Amino acid sequence: MDLRLALTILEEETCPVCKKPFPRRTSEDIYEAAEMRMRKSGEGWSPGLLRYLSFYEPKDWIEYLESFSQWHKVRYGREMLRAWVAFLMELGIERLLALVQRIIDFDTSFASTEMLRN
């Protein structure tokens, strides 16, 4: 299921694929379920991003993400990705394909200024 379909489902009363009614989940339900999923994992995650994903419109997500400096995006990228994945899983998206240009081990190496500019 792609993100557009998942977001459409949030607004629909019935599944657009099988036409069966499904229980309504509020933004609070989605946030709490994703939060529980993250807490069970024991890994770091971004509560702020999860809050934006759950309670704000998709157009506001971009503004939120652009408010971070490049350093913060590199430093907190893993936590932000975990929040995205937990949110998407609560929407019913079980597979995610990520295309990565460069892999940096955020926990064990310090990204140079040159890497942050690119």
Sorted by where each begins, the domain ranges of the chain are 26-117
Q: Are 78 and 44 in contact (CB under 8 A)?
A: yes
pLDDT digits (tens, 9 = 90+) for 7-41: 555 555 666 677 776 667 889 999 999 999 999 98
Lowest mean pLDDT among 27-41, 43-57, 100-114: 100-114
- Check pLDDT > 90 for residue 52: yes
Q: Are 52 and 46 in contact (CB under 8 A)?
A: no
- Check pLDDT > 70 for residue 2: no
Integer CA distances (angstroms), 93 to 6, 72, 87, 105, 109, in order: 7, 27, 9, 26, 32
Band of pLDDT at residue 69, cut at 50, 70 and 90: confident
Which amino acid type is present at position 89? M
Q: Output the pTM of the full model.
A: 0.66
Band of pLDDT at residue 96, cut at 50, 70 and 90: confident
Both tokens of 31, joined, read 């946030």
